[in-house]
Amino acid sequence: MELSDARVRLRRAALPYEQSLLEYLLPIVGTDGNYGQAIGSGFLLQLSSGTVLITAAHVLSELQNCFLRVPSRSGMVVLEGKPHVTREIRDASFDADVGICLLDIEKMTDRPSATPLTVADLDVDDIPSPQTAYGCWGAPREENRVIGGEFDVRATFYGGLSASDETYDLVGRQPATHFVMNCDRRLMFGESCQPVQAPGFDGISGGPLFRLGTFEEIIRGCARPKLIGMMIEGWDRWSAVVSIRVSVIVTALRQWFPQFASELPLPSYVEVQMVPIPEDDHDKFRT
């Protein structure tokens, strides 16, 4: 399959935007001794009085089974902080799958290497539109292993367009709380604009998903990418990547960490009650 001239121009124009977003990806590794593997992805959000790690609840919950480490400039470091993960959502029929950890940087031997996002990078009211490119970075499990304490990050970018209403129905999600992106990983186009097969979706949960910009903005070089979601699952069957909207994540932050509420944007279209695991259960996490 060959791309048309117009799609080649768009693909080449999009590459610098894609590469610029890699710095925000934070692979998360589960380790036992000197061996381990990537179990998910995540990203950092810098607030006035703290740095929070945001990932999927099913990734952060692995703290009950192993030690979680993330890359730093000096090597892999153990996560330190208090985790919060969703158990349920009242008055709603969707799985939020949100995990947030307020990092205790002073206890960590080094700062995570990923560049933190800021509140200005978020769009809590994104409305999917045609002729707009989206994408996400992740650390697929099949490409990332820890051997002898060494971890060489191999990240993959998954790009696509907003999915149809039919695809939302197939994956059982609602546009108000989730963003679904059409993404056939078996037919992606690399930097040379040749078709390639991307690694499987396992391990990309928790990675940041961005709206790159409209096709016109990308070609003109004036796009301003914004974070609109966090990946929680991928479907080969329907060629789709599912993400939880950043509006839901911000709602969790506002409710779980009231000290940050005043600096976080208030979503216009989402109002849910986020329920974390009980405080008494936090001692089950290995931190």
The alpha carbon of residue 60 and the mean position of all alpha carbons in its chain are separated, in whole angstroms, by 13
Segment 43-101, tens digit of pLDDT: 999 999 899 999 999 898 888 777 888 988 888 888 899 888 886 444 344 567 899 99
What are the residues whose beta carbons fall under 8 Å from the beta carbon of 134, sequence distance 6 or more?
159, 160, 161, 162, 179, 181, 209, 210, 211, 212, 228
Terminal Cα distance for the chain, rounded:
48
Query: Domains of the chain by range and CATH?
Result: 5-24+120-247 (2.40.10.10), 26-117+248-274 (2.40.10.10)
| Overall residue count recorded for the chain in this entry | 287
pLDDT of the residue at 114: 95
Encoding tokens for residue 149? 């304490």
Going along the chain, which residue ranges are E strands?
26-32, 35-47, 50-56, 67-72, 75-78, 81-90, 98-103, 132-138, 145-147, 150-151, 156-162, 178-182, 188-189, 195-196, 208-214, 226-235, 240-245, 273-276
Encoding tokens for residue 274? 């986020």
| pTM, rounded to two decimals | 0.87
The residue to which tokens 């008494």 are assigned:
280
CB distance 249 to 268 below 8 Å: no
pLDDT of the residue at 27: 92
pLDDT of the residue at 215: 94
pLDDT of the residue at 191: 66
Q: pLDDT tens track of the chain, all 287 residues?
A: 555 667 778 888 999 999 999 999 999 988 776 667 788 999 999 999 899 999 999 898 888 777 888 988 888 888 899 888 886 444 344 567 899 999 999 999 899 999 999 999 999 999 988 899 999 998 887 777 766 656 677 888 899 999 999 999 999 898 988 999 998 877 766 666 666 777 888 888 999 999 999 999 999 999 999 999 999 999 999 999 999 999 999 999 988 899 999 999 988 877 666 655 544 444 333 33
pLDDT of the residue at 280: 42
pLDDT of the residue at 194: 67
| CA nearest to 98, candidates 52, 59, 62 | 59
CA distances from residue 273 to 89, 99, 122, 172, 179 in whole angstroms, order as listed: 6, 15, 21, 20, 19
pLDDT of the residue at 204: 85
